[in-house]
Chains A and B, each alone.
Chain A
Amino acid sequence: GAGVSQSPSNKVTEKGKDVELRCDPISGHTALYWYRQSLGQGLEFLIYFQGNSAPDKSGLPSDRFSAERTGGSVSTLTIQRTQQEDSAVYLCASSLGMDQPQHFGDGTRLSIL
């Protein structure tokens, strides 16, 4: 389909490993967002991209988290030296512009053992 695609859908890894989460936005959507949903909680906003630029990285939980976007399309969220508290569902969304409704992917469920 033409929706937001995230991969992998599930990821189980050992504490201390690095993980990379991928988001393919809807074609033509210039804005892309990353969120985290911890167990039983609502969404926590992490970062957004307008094109390839992320103007505000203050929502990232720690310096172990980084995100990039290339070609105004695919984005990756990287977590280095994972900790158990990183276990969550990571959601990606995209929109035509920053003032347009967001379309969400199905998320990546990350479990840190």
Chain B
Amino acid sequence: GNSVTQMEGPVTLSEEAFLTINCTYTATGYPSLFWYVQYPGEGLQLLLKATKADDKGSNKGFEATYRKETTSFHLEKGSVQVSDSAVYFCALLNRDDKIIFGKGTRLHILP
């Protein structure tokens, strides 16, 4: 079946460090891929998405590239800020229009 696996947290980094949060998926066909972010005290928000292989989603300095050959959609940011502290969810939208989430990765950025 379809599934999403992302690295377990918490991830703790210093401000201005490079961030990678790994995400891999299993799916039939060609799903759309998403990263969602949950800031403290809020619901999920869409951070970025990619709908086909080799697409790169980007927003707020975050990037992720849809890699079909490695079935991955790793989230990266070159220089993190304290305000990036949140929980990040990788997700896929399969051909049955069902969205499947990873378990979430908590990110702590230290000043």
Interface residues of chain A, those whose CB is within 8 Å of chain B, are 33, 35, 37, 39-40, 42-43, 45, 48, 59, 89, 91, 93, 98-102, 104, 107
- What's the tally of chain B residues with a CB closer than 8 Å to chain A? 23
B53 on the interface (CB 8 Å rule)? no
User: Are B43 and A89 within 8 A (Cβ)?
Assistant: no
User: Are A39 and B40 within 8 A (Cβ)?
Assistant: no
User: Are A43 and B97 within 8 A (Cβ)?
Assistant: no
Docked CA distance A48–B39 (Å): 13
Docked CA distance A48–B45 (Å): 13
Interface residues of chain B, those whose CB is within 8 Å of chain A, are 32, 34, 36, 38, 40-46, 49, 87, 89, 91, 93, 97-99, 101, 103-104, 106
Docked CA distance A39–B99 (Å): 11
Partner of A35, one of B44, B93, B104: B44
User: A99-B41, A102-B38 in contact; A43/B98 too (CB < 8 A)?
Assistant: no
A/B interface sample: 13 pairs, CB < 8 A: A33-B44, A37-B97, A39-B97, A42-B49, A42-B93, A45-B45, A91-B99, A99-B87, A101-B87, A101-B89, A101-B104, A102-B104, A107-B98
